[in-house]
Amino acid sequence: MTLDKLPIGVSAKIVAVGGEGMLRRRLLDMGLTPKTTVMIRKIAPMGDPIELHLRGYELTIRLEDAQKITIEQQ
């Protein structure tokens, strides 16, 4: 399952971060690393972007980027 399909308020663990080159590096630098617990806090009215809660802070990413992150629901 990918991060964009996770329901609001449900926690999941990141299994893999896809993408290539600078995109993958940027996602990893933002803290979206394997074994990290993540939860979707909010979704924008038009569905993009989404706000995540991870590692004690909030992070907003595009839906397109969330589709590249494989998760495992807890």
Work out how many domains the chain is built from and give that number. Answer: 1
Residue that the structure tokens 């993408």 belong to:
19
List, for residues 22-70, the tens digit of each pLDDT value.
999 999 999 999 999 999 999 999 989 999 999 999 999 999 999 999 9
Per-residue pLDDT band at 19 (split at 50, 70, 90): confident
> Quick one: pLDDT at residue 58?
96
Per-residue pLDDT band at 1 (split at 50, 70, 90): very high
Write the CA distances from 5 to 25, 29, 61, 65, 67, integer angstroms.
Answer: 22, 22, 14, 12, 8
CATH number at residue 49: 2.30.30.90
Domain span at residue 49 reads 3-73
The tokens of 15 are what?
Answer: 């299994």
Q: Facing residues of 61 across strands?
A: 50
